[in-house]
Amino acid sequence: MIHLDFNIWFEVGRLSAYRERLGLTKEECQAHLIERYGKRNFWLLSNEQILDYSHWLKKESIVTSRL
């Protein structure tokens, strides 16, 4: 099992909120994970990859909210 520090757990908790704000389905996010990281689930990502994925979702949600 991968050890996640507190900051990573905090980001994981926000992933679904970002996804919902974007209106993305779980399948669409899964497709992004497979395309970018080669993994089907964010729980399989390293700490750095989880942060990168979280920042991507956050950036996309900010761009979408400005439209």
49 found inside a domain:
yes
Query: Which ranges of the chain would DSSP assign to H, the alpha helix?
Result: 6-22, 26-37, 47-66
pLDDT the model gives residue 2: 52
- Per the structure, the complete domain to which residue 46 belongs is given by 22-60
pTM of the entire predicted model? 0.68
Residues 28-56 as b/e (b if ≥16 CB within 10 A, e otherwise) read ebeeebeeebeeeebeebeeeebeebbee
- Mean pLDDT, residues 29-53: 88
pLDDT the model gives residue 1: 46
Total domain count for the chain?
A: 1
28 found inside a domain:
yes
Q: Which residue has the tokens 């900051």?
A: 7
Cα distances (Å, whole numbers) of residue 16 to 11, 21, 57 = 10, 8, 9
